A and B are shown apart, each in its own frame.
Chain A
Amino acid sequence: MKGAANVDIYQAHLMSSSKLKMKALGKLAEGTTATDFEACVLLHEAARSEEAALASLPMAPAETRLATAIELCWCLVAGRDPPGAATAWGEILRLCTVVGSKNAQPMLSRIEPLYMRAHDDFVKRLSKCKGLAAARASRVLVPSSDSEAKKTLVEVEDILKHYPGAPSLWWAKYRLLEHLHRVKEAWDALLRARQLEPQRASFLATSLLLSVRARSATEASEYVASIRSRLESAGAEVCLFYALAMIELAHKGAREERLAAARDAANAGLAQAGSTSMRNALLAAQLLLVALDHGEKPTLDIFYRADLGDIAASMPAGIVALSTVVNAVASLAAA
């Protein structure tokens, strides 16, 4: 009975993915910038449905897993996300070894040339974006100077015209815009990344704090509050940013209620934190909340006591602006 139920779920996910792909092709046929992006969003959703279909079959044969990886890769190539497609291609190569080349080779006849063309095209375009390529290689997306950030932003905006489905490029755009204090545009960029990968916790987490800075207090309050019921299972990062967003919102009204919500979130986050740096960041948020509760101005003690001496070391002693504490904790989590 359970096996039959699994097959039904498998078929339902496949049908869902199929409809999304067909709709995406329809959007691509319209060929406008807006419909192209909609197609990319649909194709990313289709890829997630393919994964869900496979996950519903606990004993899937290797050929079926390879077929899923191939379809997923196609979704991301057609969904203009070369970095995402590259991850799927890695899975294809691993599964080809399991299936054996005699069976795998005929399965690759369509996807291999398609993927290789997409890969070459991306590499070619990326090679013209010196700033972005350097940022990707060093994994530090935001250059140290504003002028470098502006140059890299131009490159990112240019490459996004060709790859509107790459969440990592929208993320880069968001980081650069935020660095340049263009928070409303940063919000739009982050929203695009979230549309493509709504399941990515870091996108959701950062959107909470950014919403307070980029949107009206009412809009931000509604947006942040909509996440509250998910905090127990959302992960430490989301809890931390929820707490930081509530701390900033508390300055715009409903102080006690919002600080209480921030405390709850920090506590929920500590229960889910898997790394020392995340625990330290959440501890810093808790210490900040204690200071605010006592009506005290935050000081460097928060960082020292949260075992974040390296942050304290680079700051002048004494009272620290609330936004500085929030930004330091947020950047620690983002790193």
Chain B
Amino acid sequence: MTTSYAYALEQLLTDQEHDLVADTIAPVLAWVPGKTTKRAAQPFVFELEHKLSTAPAKTVAIHLTWDVAKLQARIPGLAAHAERLKSGGSAQREHVPELAAYGLAFVAISVLMPGVRVLAFRKGLAPDLLFDVTPGAFKGVEVAGRSTGGAASLRGVRDGTPQTAGKPATLGKAAQLVARADVAEAHISLWCASPRVAIQQKVKP
């Protein structure tokens, strides 16, 4: 059985720190539909596999909507920014899915972990989004985004991939977080734009 949640992107500016999420919204609007106009229609519906520790996974549908006028009132130039990112051509375009995945992870935290506010964002070491910054006992959410590949690709990010010809084995994000002595609680939030699937899972403790 699928549980559905409707979420308006402008709500994110209230649920989380404005300046932390503001730069992720244009990338969400630019990345999720890709280059096609057809896929740009509202809502963006993500089918998300939600798992809390040992409990069985549940399927959740997140229906993402937005009101451009309301968003622009709080993030001036947002629509033009999204268009610039969509038209791309930039050598740095890998930052668009990265930022969009953070935006979507902020949405998932707001929907599935009500009341939790992200307090810090880190890039040098996992997890990316921290909601408890107690020294030596961090709690947070590790994020990744993939443009294609669906659930299989996201599971590869979570669990790692075996060695193949020419490619070494990779350690999954889940195992990396479990190995960390300074992380007390960890979740992963993985997003794919096409097809629109996601995994939100508590991996520690």
Q: How far is the CA of A151 from the CA of B91 in the complex (A)?
A: 29
Looking at the assembled complex, report how far the CB atom of B80 sits from the nearest CB atom of chain A, in whole angstroms: 11
- Interface assignment of A121: CB less than 8 Å from any CB of chain B: no
Contact partner, A109, options B90, B93, B96, B176, Cβ 8 Å:
B176
- Interface assignment of A267: CB less than 8 Å from any CB of chain B: no
Size class of B's contact patch? 35 or more
Contact partner, A103, options B118, B123, B181, Cβ 8 Å:
B181
Q: Which residue of A lies closest to B88 (CB)?
A: A31
- Interface assignment of B99: CB less than 8 Å from any CB of chain A: yes
Contact partner, B91, options A31, A64, A108, Cβ 8 Å:
A31
- Interface assignment of A78: CB less than 8 Å from any CB of chain B: yes
Looking at the assembled complex, report how far the CB atom of B129 sits from the nearest CB atom of chain A, in whole angstroms: 9
Task: List chain A residues, Cβ under 8 A from B122.
Answer: 18, 67, 71
Q: Which residue of B lies closest to A62 (CB)?
A: B136
Task: List chain B residues, Cβ under 8 A from A75.
Answer: 123-124
Task: List chain A residues, Cβ under 8 A from B102.
Answer: 22
Contact partner, B95, options A29, A63, A67, Cβ 8 Å:
A29
B181/A25 in contact, CB under 8 A: no
Task: List chain B residues, Cβ under 8 A from A111.
Answer: 124-125
Q: Which of A74, A108, A110 has the most CB of B within 10 A?
A: A110
B119/A31 in contact, CB under 8 A: no
B182/A67 in contact, CB under 8 A: yes
Q: How far is the CA of A63 from the CA of B176 in the complex (A)?
A: 16
Task: List chain B residues, Cβ under 8 A from A26.
Answer: 23-24, 26-27, 95, 99
Q: Which of A63, A75, A111 has the most CB of B within 10 A?
A: A63
Task: List chain A residues, Cβ under 8 A from B26.
Answer: 26
**Would A30 and B99 be within 8 Å (CB), given that A18-B20, A106-B180 are in contact?**
no
B95/A70 in contact, CB under 8 A: no
Task: List chain B residues, Cβ under 8 A from A106.
Answer: 176, 179-181
Spell out A's residues near B (CB within 8 Å).
10-11, 14-15, 17-19, 21-23, 25-26, 28-32, 36, 57, 60-61, 63-64, 67, 70-75, 78, 102-103, 106-111
Please list 17 pairs of residues, one from A and one from B, whose beta carbons are closer than 8 Å in the complex, sorted by A's number.
A14-B119, A15-B120, A17-B120, A18-B20, A18-B122, A22-B19, A23-B23, A25-B23, A26-B24, A26-B99, A30-B84, A30-B90, A31-B90, A31-B93, A67-B122, A70-B125, A71-B123
